[in-house]
Amino acid sequence: MTFQEHTFSNGPFNRPPFGLQTVLPNLCKQAGAKNLIFDIRTLPSGEYSFPYHYHRNAEEAMYIIEGEMTARTEDGFLKLVKGDVFFCETGNTGAHQFFNHSKSACTYFDVKTFFGMDVVVYPDSDKVMISQYNEVFDLKKQVDYFSGEDDVGRRWRELGYTQE
């Protein structure tokens, strides 16, 4: 099956100006992949992909099938055109976001490693997402590991524990 035979649709994270469309249901689910997430995506003219982000536990690569777009990276901006491969390593050095600066849609193949769970960090908005569950948290409210754990013995007693 060629990508032209697929229908592109808005995914769960679309809201102007984030207009990235993808094949639904996702190709990786159709194929039964366990350690890769992959799909064909199209970014309409004048739209952004996802918010600027990086993955803590996933590498990602995109192959431009047709059209062109601009990638925002930690090092600046990079124009991507048909035939280019764009690779994002884990961590902040792999941060990325796309904008379609052209008059035509840009279609690309997106593949990402998947090993059970990924944490996605959004540096512009101080958020983090647990991607397996699509749960998003505000990093400005980050607390100490032992916050709220001052009287652990009291909680045990409330649960009925008695020391023998």
User: pLDDT for 89-120, tens place per residue?
Assistant: 999 999 999 999 999 999 999 999 988 889 99
Note whether 13 and 50 are within 8 A (CB). Answer: yes
Spans of all domains in the chain: 3-117
Determine the pLDDT at residue 127.
Answer: 96
Tokens of 132: 């397996």
CATH class for the domain made up of 3-117: mainly beta
Q: What is the pLDDT of residues 2-49, one digit of tens each?
A: 545 667 888 777 888 999 998 866 788 888 888 898 999 999 999 999
pLDDT at 1: 45
Give burial (CB, 10 Å; 0-12/13-18/19+) of 20.
buried
Structure tokens at 138: 């505000």
Per-residue pLDDT, 14: 83
What pLDDT score does 28 carry?
83
Q: Which residues contact 121 (CB under 8 A, 6 or more apart)?
A: 53, 54, 55, 56, 92, 127, 128, 139
Give the tens place of pLDDT for each residue, 43-90.
999 999 999 999 999 999 999 999 999 999 999 999 999 999 999 999
